[in-house]
């Protein structure tokens, strides 16, 4: 359980604070409409964490993508952005945001969830490994500054196997 924190759905009035956290803690920033579009389309997988004063101290934003593979359409949840304010880290908030986002994505019918993470971002990689994400491979120079990304994924549905994920996402990675 999260002591003194609460995970709840994003609301449009949270936008300024979410954008601030995004700008302060991540080099990958987005225009406001991108946050609002993901909220409108996938509100159940756009969540914020607030402290006991009701201040937003973290968020996770996702979307759902569909891919046609082996005569079937697979839905892939994509974790687009997650951050927790520095002084609130290592208290289980990032993990709680991810678990709640996964649940929202499952509600949209996602069969798989995936994300990109900087190869140097040990805290985030550990978080995803802790949640049983696997590394599919490396996306060379994925970030604007030239750093590589790991593409990591987790399968939700038994009928999906690693080779199907590879068919969809394998061309993005170098091995
Ligand atoms: C990644 C991030 C969201 C993690 O948030 P958090 O609230 O600190 O994570 P949690 O407390 O829920 O950690 C859950 C587990 O993840 C792993 N983990 C998290 N931070 C870690 C760290 N600094 N070192 C090692 N393991 C870590 C641990 O297994 C941890 O469980 P434990 O505390 O019981 O050992 C946070 O570090 C952050 O906002 N980083 C900056 C933004 C960012 O890099 N986002 C990811 C982009 S892909």
Q: What is the pLDDT of residues 129-153, one digit of tens each?
A: 999 999 999 999 999 999 999 999 9
- Residue-range definition of the domain harbouring residue 109: 6-172
What span, in angstroms and rounded, lies between the C-alpha atoms of 35 and 33?
Answer: 5
> Dihedral through CA 29, CA 47, CA 172, CA 148, nearest 10?
50
Length of the chain as a residue count: 175
Q: Whose CA is nearest to atom 15 of ligand 1?
A: 127
127 lines ligand 1 (CB under 6 A): yes
* CATH assignment at residue 167: 3.40.630.30
40 lines ligand 1 (CB under 6 A): no
168 lines ligand 1 (CB under 6 A): no
Residues 37-91 pLDDT 10s = 999 999 999 999 999 999 999 999 999 999 999 999 999 999 999 999 999 999 9
Please indicate, yes or no, if residue 128 is contained in any of the structural domains.
Answer: yes
CA of 67: how far to CAs of 70, 80, 111, 128, in Å?
10, 17, 11, 23
Atom of ligand 1 nearest to the CA of 96: 12
98 lines ligand 1 (CB under 6 A): no
Please indicate, yes or no, if residue 1 is contained in any of the structural domains.
Answer: no
pLDDT-based confidence at 1, cuts 50/70/90? Answer: confident
Please indicate, yes or no, if residue 43 is contained in any of the structural domains.
Answer: yes
How many domains does the chain divide into? Answer: 1
pTM value is 0.98
């Amino acid at each position: 359980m999260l002591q003194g924190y609460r995970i709840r759905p994003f609301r449009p009035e949270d936008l300024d604070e979410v954008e601030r956290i995004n700008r302060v803690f991540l080099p990958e920033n987005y225009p406001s409409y991108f946050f609002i579009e993901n909220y409108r389309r996938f509100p159940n997988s756009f969540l914020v964490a607030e402290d006991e004063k009701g201040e937003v101290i973290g968020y996770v934003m996702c979307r759902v993508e569909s891919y046609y593979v082996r005569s079937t359409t697979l839905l892939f949840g994509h974790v687009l952005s997650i951050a927790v304010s520095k002084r609130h880290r290592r208290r289980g908030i990032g993990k709680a945001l991810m678990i709640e986002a996964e649940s929202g994505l499952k509600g949209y019918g996602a069969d798989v969830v995936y994300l990109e993470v900087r190869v140097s971002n040990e805290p985030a990689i550990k978080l995803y490994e802790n949640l049983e994400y696997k590394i599919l491979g490396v996306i060379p120079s994925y970030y604007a500054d030239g750093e590589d990304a790991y593409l990591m994924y987790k399968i939700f549905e038994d009928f999906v196997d690693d080779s199907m994920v590879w068919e969809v996402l394998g061309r993005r990675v170098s091995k």
